[in-house]
Structure 1
Amino acid sequence: MDPFLRKLRRHLLRWLHRSRRSGSVFFVRRISYNDVRSATDGFRRVVFSNSEVSAYAANFGEGGGGVCLVKELKDFDQRNGDSFHQQVQFLGRLHHRHLLSLKGFSVGRNRKRLLIFDNIENGSLKEHLNDPLKTPLSWRTRLQIANGVVAALKYLFLFSDPPVCHVSISSGNIMLDENFTAKLSDFGLLTSGGNSVMIPKSEDSMGQKSCKIIFQLGVLILELVTGQSSEMEGSDLVEWIQESRFYSSIDKMIDPDLGNSYDCTELKSLLAVAKLCIKSWDKPSFTIPQFFGYLQNKIDIPHN
Structure 2
Amino acid sequence: MHRLIRKLRPRLLSWLRRSRSGQILFMKRFPYKDIKRATDGFETIMYTNSHIAAYKARFHDGGVVLIKEIRDYDQGKDVFYREVQLLGCLHHRHLLALRGFSTGHRRFLVFDNIERGSLKEHLNDPIRTPLNWRTRLQIAIGVVAALEYLLLFNEPPMYHVSINSSSIMLDENFNAKLSDVGLQSSGESYVTVPHTSCPKDCMGQECGNIMFQLGVLILELITGQSSENGGADLVQWIRESRFCSSIHKMLDPDLGSSYDSRELKSLLAVAKLCVRCGDKPKASMQQILRYLRKKIEIPRD
TM-score between both structures, scaled by the size of structure 2: 0.84
- Distance change in 2, residues 1:173/1:300 (3 Å): farther
Alignment of 1:109-258 (within 5 A): 110=105, 112-188=106-182, 190-192=183-185, 195-196=188-189, 199=195, 201=198, 203-204=200-201, 206-258=203-255
CA distance in structure 2 between the aligned counterparts of 1:138 and 1:82, rounded to whole angstroms: 45
CA distance in structure 2 between the aligned counterparts of 1:118 and 1:300, rounded to whole angstroms: 29
1:28 aligned partner, one-letter code: M
- Distance change in 2, residues 1:139/1:290 (3 Å): closer
Identify the residue that residue 30 of structure 2 maps to in structure 1.
Answer: 31
User: Is 149-158 or 42-51 further displaced after alignment?
Assistant: 42-51
1:61 aligned partner, one-letter code: H
2:63 aligned partner, one-letter code: G
The SS at the match of 1:187 is coil
Q: Is the 8 A contact 1:202 1:288 kept in 2?
A: no
Identify the residue that residue 18 of structure 2 maps to in structure 1.
Answer: none
The SS at the match of 2:66 is strand
* Bigger radius of gyration among the two: 1
Q: Identity, % of aligned pairs?
A: 61
Q: Is the 8 A contact 1:55 1:70 kept in 2?
A: yes
The count of residues paired between Structure 1 and Structure 2 equals: 275
Deviation of 1:282 (Å): 5.5
CA distance in structure 2 between the aligned counterparts of 1:135 and 1:194, rounded to whole angstroms: 41
Deviation of 1:29 (Å): 1.4
The SS at the match of 1:116 is strand
Deviation of 1:274 (Å): 0.5
CA distance in structure 2 between the aligned counterparts of 1:284 and 1:153, rounded to whole angstroms: 14
- Distance change in 2, residues 1:161/1:184 (3 Å): same
The SS at the match of 1:144 is helix
Q: Is the 8 A contact 2:211 2:281 kept in 1?
A: no
Deviation of 1:290 (Å): 3.8
Q: Cα RMSD between the aligned structures?
A: 2.2
Deviation of 1:165 (Å): 3.7
1:70 is the counterpart of 2:98: no
1:42-87 Cα deviation digits (max 9, x unpaired):
222322233311111111132xx7221000001110x511221111
CA distance in structure 1 between the aligned counterparts of 2:176 and 2:187, rounded to whole angstroms: 25
1:264 is the counterpart of 2:261: yes
Q: Is the 8 A contact 1:70 1:116 kept in 2?
A: yes
Deviation of 1:207 (Å): 1.1
- Distance change in 2, residues 1:25/1:113 (3 Å): farther
Deviation of 1:296 (Å): 4.0
The SS at the match of 1:89 is helix
* Of 81, 87, 92, the match for 1:85: 81
1:82-126 Cα deviation digits (max 9, x unpaired):
221111100111110000000000113x2x110000111111111
Q: Is the 8 A contact 1:73 1:193 kept in 2?
A: no
1:178 aligned partner, one-letter code: E
1:123 aligned partner, one-letter code: G
1:277 is the counterpart of 2:271: no
Deviation of 1:196 (Å): 2.5
Identify the residue that residue 105 of structure 1 maps to in structure 2.
Answer: 101
Long gaps (5+) in structure 1: 1-23
Deviation of 1:295 (Å): 4.3
CA distance in structure 1 between the aligned counterparts of 2:185 and 2:119, rounded to whole angstroms: 20
Deviation of 1:288 (Å): 5.0
- Distance change in 2, residues 1:147/1:285 (3 Å): closer
1:242-266 Cα deviation digits (max 9, x unpaired):
1222111111110000001111111
